[in-house]
Amino acid sequence: MKVALAQIAPKLGDVHANLETHLDLIKQAKKDGVELLVFPELSLTGYFLEELAYHVGLRVDAPELQKLADAAGADMAVVAGFVEETAGYHYYISGAFIEAGGIKHLHRKVYLPTYGMFTDQRYFAEGDRVRAFDASFGRCGLLICEDIWHNSTVSILAADSANYLISINSSPGRGVVTGDRTLGSSDAVEMLNRMYAQFFTSFVIFCNRVGYEDGINFWGGSEVIGPDGECLAKAPYFEEALVCAELDPSALRRVRINLPLLRDEKLELTVREYQRILQERYGQ
């Protein structure tokens, strides 16, 4: 299965320009026979929007999203990030999994960081569900940036039988650490990607953006990690790129026979203990 990561630098607050970029890359990826093309978090709008968020919100039936679906056509899936405006005027950081002419799955970012440089929760509503879904090529889960810093989200998706973890990001670069490493923040995320692939013996499809917003850089380094923890494709740091990876779905079978971690996972025990903790914390 051919997967491509569109490591772009969205124009901040300019949906029209970003949509054109998406359509160009979809066309290019289709030529290359890509079956799944993944864009980063808020790929249609840029990330540090502040109040621009209220200018660039799209309803789920927006013509812009339909254009992505039309361009992707019948033989390609696309994941794109956008500001979702609801009928009740709540704004979410959402990711759309688009396939077969429409949105097959919508994920609303659950964990909205407000620490350090981040202000997500000042402007956005929190998503309240984490669910796997069936794409034509297999069962997937979709998470957005800060979501992956809470391992519960990935654990839920694994329990929900996701084989492909799609993680879309606007991860800022910080910490120019020494040695061969690039950045403190890229080091940490790359470790998480490998850890999730190994813990859940699943494919991790990680797309991060590049470019600068108000002096803040995004480090790129998008990658696909196989269920054995091997890196299958790696995009450059700091530069725009369209990177392809060939995924062998049969790796799931081989890895999981060798390492039946998911088979042995004790879901009931986990839930029971969580319930006990909640009872102790909030019970009478």
- Tokens for 180? 């061969």
Choices 129-137, 138-146, 176-184, 264-272; region in contact with other proteins by CB under 8 A: 176-184
Helix count (H) and strand count (E) of the chain? 9, 14
* H-helix or E-strand spanning residue 71: helix 63-72
Q: Which residue in the set 63, 160, 177, 253 belongs to the binding site for other proteins (CB under 8 A)? A: 177
Any contact of residue 214 with other proteins (CB under 8 A)? yes
* H-helix or E-strand spanning residue 191: helix 184-199
SS3 label, residue 83: strand
Q: How far is the CB of 275 from other proteins (least distance, A)?
A: 36
Q: At what angle do helices 184-199 and 151-159 cross, to 10 degrees?
A: 20
Return the residues of window 58-97 that contact other proteins according to CB under 8 A. none
Q: How far is the CB of 83 from other proteins (least distance, A)?
A: 14
Any contact of residue 10 with other proteins (CB under 8 A)? no
Contact 68, 26 (CB under 8 A): yes
- Tokens for 25? 């890359």
Binding mask 23-62 for other proteins (x = CB under 8 A): -------------------------xxxxx----------
Return the number of the residue (211 or 227) whose C-beta is nearest other proteins. Answer: 211
Any contact of residue 183 with other proteins (CB under 8 A)? yes
Instruction: Determine the Cα–Cα distance for residues 231 and 7; give it in Å rounded to an integer.
Output: 17
Return the number of the residue (177 or 278) whose C-beta is nearest other proteins. Answer: 177
The contacts of residue 123 (CB under 8 Å, 6+ apart) are 49, 50, 51, 53, 54, 91
Any contact of residue 215 with other proteins (CB under 8 A)? yes
Q: How far is the CB of 180 from other proteins (least distance, A)?
A: 8
Instruction: Determine the Cα–Cα distance for residues 64 and 56; give it in Å rounded to an integer.
Output: 11
Return the number of the residue (174 or 256) whose C-beta is nearest other proteins. Answer: 174
Binding mask 233-262 for other proteins (x = CB under 8 A): ----xx------------------------
Burial of 88 per CB tally in 10 Å (0-12, 13-18, 19+): exposed
Q: How far is the CB of 220 from other proteins (least distance, A)?
A: 11
Q: Which residue in the set 141, 173, 226, 227 belongs to the binding site for other proteins (CB under 8 A)? A: 173
Q: How far is CA 111 from the centre of its chain?
A: 13
Instruction: Determine the Cα–Cα distance for residues 81 and 135; give it in Å rounded to an integer.
Output: 18
Any contact of residue 11 with other proteins (CB under 8 A)? yes
Give the residues lining the site for other proteins (CB under 8 A).
9, 11-14, 48-52, 173, 176-179, 181-183, 211-215, 217, 237-238
